[in-house]
Homo-oligomer: A and B are copies of this chain.
């Protein structure tokens, strides 16, 4: 399928949202969706939705809306979800184990094929049928298997070293959960899940809204 469209950074951030919601609709056997429904569900204006879909050729029919299946296919193709990704997870602590057990990634084609840790108490145990191997085995594993993405769930102090190692092994995608900014080479992609930062942003928003409410309720 040809989906080599130029897509802006802002649109790229919206595509996974569209994809997720359209997947839900497909699971519910809903075959058509209006820009109004998408707009309400995703907090994006209707005109933005129409503009986005027009851009990559998803034409809606007046009064009929958009075809869910073809939109899903088109967006999936743009996002690179028309293939599978093999992932190696490094750091089998609480968070790493929770990520490894999370079922929704597999459905999208992201499969964890190896789990690594340096803690001798964890080596040999299994997560979802996968043996936890010693981190020293990573190089050998990567030579024998095609690993697309490294999931880094080690404590922050080890993250930069682990990142350097996976980059040296030729892995081009990093999904980082360590709360540290990692320097990656230009040809390597990285996505960060910064839990603490998200909580801090939430705290700020709560503070801001509280101040707003207090100002409103002050007597004139």
Contacts and interface: CB of A to CB of B under 8 A. Distances in A.
Interface of A: 4, 12-13, 15-17, 19-21, 24, 41-43, 78-81, 85, 94-95, 97-99, 101-102, 104-105, 108, 110, 148-149, 156, 172-175, 179-181, 186-191, 193-207, 209-211, 213
B98 A12 contact: no
B210 A172 contact: yes
B189 A205 contact: yes
B102 A94 contact: yes
B193 A193 contact: yes
A195 B105 contact: yes
Contacts of A207: 79-80
11 contacts: A20-B180, A24-B180, A41-B181, A42-B181, A94-B98, A104-B195, A105-B199, A173-B202, A174-B202, A186-B209, A193-B195
Contacts of A20: 179-180, 194, 196-197
A128 to B, nearest CB: 10
A210 B80 CA distance: 11
A172 B85 contact: no
Given A20-B197, A98-B95, A204 B104 contact: no
Contact of A102 (B12, B42, B78, B95): B95
Interface of A is mostly: helix
Contacts of A108: 196, 199-200
A206 B81 CA distance: 11
A163 to B, nearest CB: 14
Contacts of A101: 94
A209 to B, nearest CB: 6
Contact of A98 (B98, B180, B200): B98
A184 to B, nearest CB: 10
A203 B104 contact: no
A63 B148 CA distance: 44
